[in-house]
Amino acid sequence: MHVEFLGVPRQRAGISQLEVHADTLGQLLGTLATQIPPLREFIAVDRLHSSFIANLNGDRFVSDPSTPLVKEDRVLILSADAGG
Amino acid sequence: MPFGYHGRYLRIDVSTGASEYVPLSDTVLRQYLGGSGLGVKLLLDEGAAIMDPLAPEAPLVFAFSPLVGSPLTTSAKFAVVSKSPLTGRINDSLASSGFAIAGKRCGCDAIVIAGRAAELSVLVIDDTSVRIEPAAEYRGATCQDTESGLKARLGANYRVASIGPAGENLVRYATISHDGRHAGRGGSGAVLGAKNIKAIALRGTRRAEWANPGELTTISKSLSKRSFGPATAKYRELGTATNLLTFNRFGALPTRNFQSGTFDEAASLSHEQLSTTRSKTRESCVSCTIGCEHIYSLGSGGVRVEYESLFALGSLCGVSDPEAVLRASKRCDELGLDTISTGGTIAFAMECVERGWIDEPWLTFGSGDALLRAIDSIGSRRGIGDLLAEGSRRVAHAIGHNSIAFAPQVKGLEIPGYEPRALQTMALGFAVGARGADHNRSGAYEVDFSDKVDRRNLTLDAVRHAIDTEDKAALMDSMIICKFLRGVFNDFHDETAEMLRSITGWDVTADELRETAKRIVSAKRQFNLLAGWTPAEDTLPDRFLNTPLPNDPEASLSRELLNSLVAEYHRQRGW
Ligand code: SF4
């Protein structure tokens, strides 16, 4: 699936997007932590730190590591405290 | 008198120069804490709800807090509380830095100002002595020039809060500024201007004692340490400007007077773009370990860039030229104008020009020159600026054509940078907000950016979450601590109760603070009821109801749904 980074995750990752294969959100986060070390501070095994959140296809915000993903999904990773 | 307080407020009548200390009971302090809560309580006691906010007798409160002056990070803040000349309802704005510490060192927990000075004046509070000095030479001066001029005249150890030309000219959304920060929303600058007070300068030597300094030091160190972690990374590393592209991605970036939720040229205003073309420095309020202020170079100086200013003066007005938007933001700071209400009122006028209802053909969406010209005309109340200085609701009533349907306001306060159709918990927060459409007294957008709700298809379950964020904001604004710290708490109520215990010695618990928050929210409602509030005010303009966002058909909010959310909110509040 396609992963998009916004805000601090984008700055830390140094890229705005990439392609990753994963069957669940937890797997995806584990892969990101391995592939992009600067993101490790925000990922505890298979979950995002509470100040960050994932979103599926611009619609649903998801946090459960067992959330299933399919190849066509776009997963957005962003700061949860969107206001200010 | 409890620890952490002085147990009194200073009441000054600037008509006569008379001042007195009025005792504050332990009960009142424990029930309302400080900041917004104490400010509202004092206004209720003064009978301010039924007064014209620009009349001499209308009081303006500067309220401090038990945390001010402590080593707790982000605690150097004060609240400015009055009836709003923009909304006719309660208004509490917060600002930061040395003025809060110096104000509390004047030996009081709040300063209440009433009356009207005979000429433009500066109110000087030197420890416990109060005097009023002429300030004619500062007429028309920017907030920054007034502050530096007064420090040169009185002494560098004075802390100064001032109004710019907009406050002198009674622009209904004028700010009070201190050290580059602004008590921004709702027009407290006009209230001070109506009192002929250009600035308040103060210094003091009186410290409030703490009940348990050792425990307070331990708590402060822990909090400061956590303030360097992931929960505040966004504010430290990028600032709120980073919201712009995120909101655009979610179709929630208000554009061209809320006619769209996306702005094609958003990238040109993004922090990424600004950072590649301009140098940037970072600053912070006094006593803050986060430092969220990102100052971008502009000409020979710099300008603090925040999301709300970028959206209001950028996408909302269709302006994509970063130089124009940054200059507009700086000009608002100089004149003492709230950027959200300024941008909202100008964007509304631009749409009215397009529709042929305002005859100012130069005032077009996308024109940076028009934006800057409009801002100057508002600050001086010249030409069309005299009407725009009244805010979008009054402009709509003046021009008719049912333009109120798309005036971007709730209760008269212009809507901040959250498209209500795409963020529907926030839409509820806007509708029921005591001071009008407001993202600081309700953090309901956080609920929309979570897995607790479906932000475009809300159910009544969202209401309890919206209430939680409003209650939490009431506590943070009364204790006072910065909202950018909110992510670092493991248990917000437990930890804030612990802070209060160490400062005051009270046996305060998390449950007591939950009740305190509800009391403060109810006090604001009580003020509004006395001021004439009716249930019909708790709604959104027609534009947002029953018509989906053009670029996102799913982002649609029916009047029926909003009405049932509001009714459920009132039910859960017990109102
Ligand atoms: S986080 Fe920002 S607004 Fe809050 S106290 Fe620190 S510098 Fe001031």
Question: Going from the N-terminus, what domains does chain A have, and what CATH number goes with each?
Answer: 2-83 (3.10.20.30)
pLDDT level of residue B291 (50, 70, 90 thresholds):
very high
pLDDT for B409-430, tens place per residue? 999 999 999 999 999 999 999 9
**Which residues 23-62 of chain A have a CB within 8 Å of chain B?**
41-42, 49-53, 55, 58-62
Minimal CA–CA distance to B65: which of B477, B442, B472, B499?
A: B477
Contact between B99 and B202 (Cβ < 8 Å)? yes
Report the CATH number that the domain containing residue B461 is assigned in CATH: 1.10.599.10
How many whole angstroms from B361 Cα to the centroid of ligand 1?
A: 40
Q: How far apart are CA B503 and CA B104, in angstroms?
A: 15
Separation between Cα atoms, residue B111 and residue B420, nearest integer Å: 37
* Position B435 in a domain: yes
Co-location of B428 and B374 in the same domain? no
DSSP string, B126-143: ETTEEEEEE-GGGTT--H
Kindly give, in sequence order, each residue whose CB lies less than 8 Å from that of residue B272, ignoring residues fewer than 6 positions away. Answer: B245
Of residues B555, B543, B553, the one with CA closest to residue B256: B543
Which residue from B65, B235, B242 has its CB within 8 A of the most atoms of ligand 1, so it is best to mutate?
A: B235
**pTM to 2 decimal places:** 0.97
Last residue of a domain, one of B414, B442, B470: B414
In a domain, B216, yes or no: no
Confidence of residue A80 (pLDDT cuts 50, 70, 90): confident
Test site for ligand 1: of B182, B286, B290, most ligand atoms within 8 A of the Cβ = B290
For B250-285, the pLDDT digits (tens) are: 999 999 999 999 999 999 999 999 999 999 899 999
Within 6 A (CB) of ligand 1 lie B 74, 96, 235, 284-285, 288, 290-293, 482, 484
Instruction: Check whether B212 has a pLDDT greater than 90.
Output: yes
* Together in a domain, B145 and B236: no
Query: Which atom of ligand 1 is found nearest the CA of B292?
Result: 2
pLDDT digits (tens, 9 = 90+) for B374-411: 999 999 999 999 999 999 999 999 999 999 999 999 99
Query: Residue A1, CB half-sphere, CA atoms under 13 Å: how many?
Result: 23
Q: Is A75 on the interface with B (CB under 8 A)?
A: no
pLDDT (tens digit, 9 = 90+) per residue, A37-69?
999 999 998 999 998 999 999 999 999 999 999
Q: Which domain holds residue B479?
A: 424-550
**From the CA of B3, how many Å to the nearest CA of chain A?**
32
Nearest to B451 among A4, A11, A62 (CB): A62
Do B410 and B428 lie in one domain? The reply is: no
B488 pLDDT exceeds 70?
A: yes
Q: How far apart are CA B165 and CA A57, in angstroms?
A: 47
Asked if B247's CB is within 8 angstroms of A82's CB, the reply is yes
Q: Looking at the structure, do residues B254 and B302 belong to the same domain, yes or no?
A: yes
Asked whether the bond before B295 is cis by omega within 30 degrees of 0, the reply is no
Long-range contacts of B360-368 (CB under 8 A, 24+ apart): B360/B384, B365/B256, B365/B257, B365/B317, B365/B318, B365/B319, B366/B317, B366/B318, B366/B319, B366/B320, B367/B319, B368/B319, B368/B321, B368/B323, B368/B324, B368/B325, B368/B327, B368/B328
Domain boundary among B414, B440, B473: B414
Q: How many domains are contained in chain B?
A: 3
In a domain? residue B376: yes
User: Given an 8 Å threshold on Cβ–Cβ distance, is B233 in contact with A51?
Assistant: yes
